[in-house]
Amino acid sequence: MNKRFLQMIGAGMLAAAMVFGPVQPSVMAEESSITVAETSHELVSGKMKVSFDVRNGGSSTVAGFVVVGYDEKGKALEVVGDSAYLISNEIETFEVNLESGSKVKDVKVFPAKAAGSQAVLLESGYRTEKNSIKVTGAVQNADASGRVGMLVVGYDGAGKAVEVKSASSYLTASEVATFEIPLTAVKLIKDVKVMAVDSQEDAVKLLQTGSRVENGKLVVSGAIQNRDANGKVGVIVVGSNSSGKVLEVNTTRGYLTAKEIGNFEAKLDSGKAVTNVKVYLTGSSEIPKIIAEGRTRINNKLVVTTGIENGATMQKITVKSTAYDAKGRLLGTQTDSLFMSDHDTTTFKITYDSRVSSVKLKYYDESGNEIGTKPIRIKINGQLQSYAQAPVMVNGSVLVPMRPIFESLQASVKWDQKSQTVTSVKGAANIKLKMGSKQATVNGKAVALDSAPRSVKGTTMVPLRFVAAALGCEVKWDKNEQMVLITTK
């Protein structure tokens, strides 16, 4: 967050000011006692200095306001927002400096409306400078303190997202703050969209991704929001060609505080050969997993990249590689290893010499157990699902995130925090499950569960087969593919 200090000029009086730009009449925000008056602006030392009065006509409150600078075509170039606590009938005079300077041809100042239950984007603008597009926005927090953020997506001329960035900060109740986010894909970006981020869900969420080819490499960027607890979050980027073959895998990871919004960027050497990108979030598995494996040839050499997510134990991961030539003849085997901390995510990359045509790889944990190469996946009516918290197998039952699965099956979902109970309704079906209980109810009748709903890294997980069947769906398990196939009726 770029918190720009707004200079407070006067207190308790309506300050007189010389008007250097168009005067904006008083504007009353809906459901708010805050008004803005006596607005003026002038160019000073290359910056556009904006002066204005803010009056609180009601009881003491946080008064928010937004300053917007426009170019000659009426496009918002720059936005500054802030807030101050004003007592009843108090008037304060403020000054704001807009960095856009002479590019600003018109200025407007708006009061913020009364805060609601979620943070909102009040205004946003962007301008192109030397090596970046600077995006500024004013976000007003909800009526309770918490971490909120701003997400910026840059699109090319075809409407494809090419760059994604975000920022977040802890704001007090009703506070208005300025965020400034630079985008670097200046030559590609033709449009920018901005939104406030204020998720109430306790789960790691992938907010948005974008990709672009830069210097021959595919650059994948995105933003994620963490759950309600501090922890490690990993990102695995998987690039495939038009035939669906995975060419390359790359990873990145970091430590995020509760509800923090973070940015990630990963580069794939395969560049334009990659036509499809998938992003997986990691960091919550209790056991090590091989998320994806990519194979491609670079300079006539076979390159294998593997995205690995470790479990809850710090350990050494070993990779055994067996190489063959074009005629299928054994060339030899090699063993490599890497040390991974708990819940770590990394890329394992092996480049073979030009004689190698194909390889077989096996992965082992520190105890010598082979790590499965396929995570549990879910398809609903043929569509592969993607969840921030990956499905887990418990006592032979697949557990999935509560809210996404109910919503995917077009069922309502209601969570009662006090009783730790989830209720879902679809048509004539009424389901109730309780955290930690192996007994559920369907239309008032008790049903035994193989595995009880539980929390995995802050995400409520429910037994998939029971939920889908209770909602009238057909459920099948493909053991070879480690995939649950659901067909709705």
CA atoms within a 13 Å half-sphere pointing along the CA-CB vector of 401: 20
pLDDT in tens, 23-79: 333 333 445 689 998 899 999 999 999 999 999 998 999 999 999 999 999 999 999
Same domain? For 323 and 369 the reply is yes
Q: Is residue 410 part of a domain?
A: yes
Q: Which of 310, 345, 374 is the last residue of a domain?
A: 374
Whether 111 maps to a domain, the answer reads no
pLDDT of residue 147: 93
Check whether residue 392 and residue 453 sit in a common domain.
yes
Residue 167 lies in a domain: no
Q: How much is the average pLDDT of 343-368? A: 92
Task: Output the pLDDT for position 374.
Answer: 64
**Could you tell me if 288 and 314 lie in one domain?**
yes
Q: Are 263 and 166 in contact (CB under 8 A)?
A: yes
Give yes or no: residues 236 and 336 share one domain. Answer: yes
The reply to whether 408 and 368 lie within a common domain is no
pLDDT higher than 80, residue 369: no
Q: Are residues 313 and 422 in the same domain?
A: no
In a shared domain, residues 341 and 245: yes
Of 347, 374, 401, the domain-final residue: 374
Residue 304 structure tokens: 């294998």
User: Is residue 323 assigned to a domain?
Assistant: yes
Evaluate whether residue 244 is within a structural domain. yes
Q: What's the confidence (pLDDT) of residue 45?
A: 95
| Mean local confidence (pLDDT), 377-403 | 87
Residue 280 inside a domain? The answer is: yes
- Within a domain: 445: yes
What is the 8-class DSSP label of residue 370? B
- Number of Cβ within a 10 Å radius of residue 330: 9
Asked whether residue 8 carries a pLDDT value surpassing 50, the answer given is: no
Look-up: residue for tokens 């995130």? Answer: 401
What is the Cα–Cα distance from 70 to 79, expressed in whole angstroms? 9
For 406-420, the pLDDT digits (tens) are 999 999 999 998 999
Residue 415 and residue 390 share a domain = yes
CA 236 to CA 217: how far, in whole Å? Answer: 17
Burial of 284 (C-beta count, 10 Å sphere; 0-12/13-18/19+)? buried
Q: Which residues pair with 407 in a beta bridge?
A: none
* Tokens 């200095």, residue located: 49
Q: What is the CATH classification number for the domain harbouring 289?
A: 2.60.40.3230
For 77-116, what is each residue's pLDDT tens digit?
999 999 999 999 999 999 999 999 999 999 999 999 988 8
Q: Provide the 10 A C-beta neighbour count for residue 423.
A: 16
Residues 296 and 249 in one domain: yes
User: How many folded domains does the chain comprise?
Assistant: 2
Residues 326 and 388 in one domain: no
- Domain boundary at 336, 356, 374, which? 374
What does the pLDDT look like over 315-341, one tens digit per residue? Answer: 999 999 999 999 999 999 999 999 999
Collapsing DSSP states into helix, strand and coil, what is residue 478? strand
Same domain, 246 and 362: yes
Please report, for the domain that includes residue 394, its CATH number: 3.30.457.10
Q: How far is residue 98's CA from residue 310's CA, in Å, rounded to a whole number?
A: 47
pLDDT at res. 38 = 86
Residue 481 has which token pair? 């593919």
Distance (Å, rounded) from C-alpha 218 to C-alpha 230?
30
Mean pLDDT of 191-202: 88
Q: Model confidence at 304, in pLDDT bands (50, 70, 90)? A: very high
Q: What is the pLDDT of residues 198-211, one digit of tens each?
A: 877 778 899 999 99
Looking at residue 10, its pLDDT comes to 39
Cα dihedral across residues 130, 131, 133, 135: positive or negative: negative
pLDDT, mean over the chain:
89
- Contact status, residue 307 vs residue 281, Cβ threshold 8 Å: no
Token pair in block for residue 213: 């080819």
pLDDT at 22 over 60: no
Residue 198 belongs to some domain of the structure = no
So what's the pLDDT on residue 215? 95
Q: Are residues 448 and 355 in the same domain?
A: no
Domain that holds residue 339: 232-253+273-374
pLDDT at residue 13 is higher than 80: no
pLDDT in tens, 203-261: 889 999 999 999 999 999 999 999 888 999 999 999 999 999 999 999 999 999 999 99
Residue 16 CB contacts under 8 Å (≥ 6 apart), including other chains: none
Q: What is the pLDDT of residue 130?
A: 85
